[in-house]
Chain A
Amino acid sequence: MVGIGFRKDFAAALLESPFFHPAFIEVAPENWIGVGGYWKKLFRQALEQYPLFTHGLSLSVGSPDELDLVFLGKVKDFLRETNAQIYSEHLSYSKCDNAHLYDLLPIPFTQEAVKHVSRRIRQVQDFLERRIAIEIVSYYTPVAPEMTEIAFINAVLQEADCDLLLDVNNVYVNGFNHQYNAKAFIDQLPMERVRYIHMAGHEKVAEDLIIDTHGEAIIDPVYDLFAYTVQRLDRDVPVLLERDFNIPELEALQQEIDRLQAIKNLHLKNHQYATA
């Protein structure tokens, strides 16, 4: 199944479109908690038509600050009320020194951070009484690293015992920005933990830097990396198309969804044939 990020920009069009058929929608709970009126009406209609996956923005699992349990309580209620299938968050921090920054900052790849972040992920899972999927984020500079990115991620996943949200575009972006081989990176990830996949477009802002904008179509090399990932996974994992800015006609989004689904079908069918 391939879903779409539910954006206010096309919420009304999505509900009425005769040809646009994502398998599910994804929202950030932050954008919908405590919301009523016009948006709540649309959101309720969307929930009648589509299963919901969720992707948080401001829990800040990587933050030095204490977890915001009041907020997490609201997330828990939201997940229950909307019957959300997945709750995912970012392996990053967006709050520091008691101030929200509303964006995803890179955690230093240190042993201290591994301990801290994995303890917090466990705390979140206990509080929510469910497993969560943690996403590898794009980053534009390392910060005081003591270990490699892959060692950091794998240590966190293992110590936290959580699921992985594999954003294939982020791995591509990071491979480019930090000069490593994206396929080799994926080879080293614990595929059995992958619960959810993200796919998106990005923007190259300099010869040596890509920014993860979610504002462009997915490029071919990222489709290739996706095909590689699907083969490695060898099972059906939900995929999300993320498009947050510069949103095209729904036809164009449907084409991207179709292409992602076709890649999945091809490799998963091959698998069934091979094992039959």
Chain B
Amino acid sequence: MQPPEATTTTGYQSALAAYCRSGRYTAIPGVHKGHVTHYRRLVYNVVDDMLQSAYPLTYHLLTAKEWKQMVQDFFSSHACQSPQVWYMPRELHEYLVKTQHPLLEKYPFLSELLWLEWLEVELFMMEDKPAAFTAFGDIQADAFVLNPEHHLQHFHYPVHLKQAKQISAEDKGDYFLVLFRKPDNGEVAFMQLSPVLVTLLELLEERPQAMHPLVEQACATWQLPLNDAIREAAGAFFAQALENRLILGYDTKSHIL
């Protein structure tokens, strides 16, 4: 059914905005029919460009027709809430999940792929989170300071490990990772984690702690025997995390003591 023709200033404004969102034009008095199409084109392009740059892997995965239909569904039926266009792509992920979009059925890992892509954007862009630490300390004894610019994630498909087109139902499983922003160049990196390491980082999120109490608590949580192999693996993990700045350094208070 065609909506009734607008007759008030706000009605004309709604009609023009609705046309820009849907591409379906209903006559508005005084409007140049040949030229008004540029508004639809310009508005659509801004949104499409923004989504393509936030979700390059998804853009590559979907057929051109699927992508176009998805953007069209999203922009015409979802009311974008963010006044900041760079933050708007987050709403595409929310929209697809909320509406249980048919693409999620065709690509069971799509929601996780989109979320991974969005996490990378958000971590790269997000506001700085200050943390007090010192670069000097003893890896065996001093309390670690976790980089607060991180995000722990549990996926069911290896969207961070495999090309999207190669992912199949057989890949379904549990994948843990931590994404974080490197303080020196602002780039976003990730590390694969075992469930025990997730626990360890969750403990470290609460407050700075030293390696041995951390490993003890994590092993207790998972009812694992605390043996040399685990100690060694933990030592290697922390050395790597210090190197790549998932762990910024050492707690200043514990260091002074």
Contact = CB atoms under 8 A, between A and B. Distances in A.
Asked if A and B bind, the verdict is yes
Interface of A: 30-31, 33-41, 57-59, 62-64, 68, 71, 93, 95-103, 105-108, 110, 112-113, 116, 140-145, 177, 205, 209, 211
A102 to B, nearest CB: 5
A143 B127 contact: no
Interface residues of B, number: 48
Interface stretch (B78-86, B105-113, B196-204): B78-86
A205 B37 CA distance: 12
A34 B14 contact: no
Contacts of A100: 79-83, 85, 88
Nearest to B43: A103
Nearest to B17: A96
Interface of B: 6, 8-10, 12-14, 16-18, 20-21, 28-32, 35-36, 38-39, 42-43, 46-47, 50, 78-88, 124-129, 149, 181, 185-187
A102 B38 contact: no
B125 A39 contact: yes
Given A100-B82, A143-B28, A145-B30, A209 B38 contact: yes
B53 to A, nearest CB: 11
B136 to A, nearest CB: 24
B5 to A, nearest CB: 11
Nearest to A96: B17
B16 A143 contact: yes
A197 B125 CA distance: 31
B36 A37 contact: no
Contact of A144 (B18, B30, B32): B30
Given A30-B83, A93-B13, A143-B16, A102 B47 contact: yes
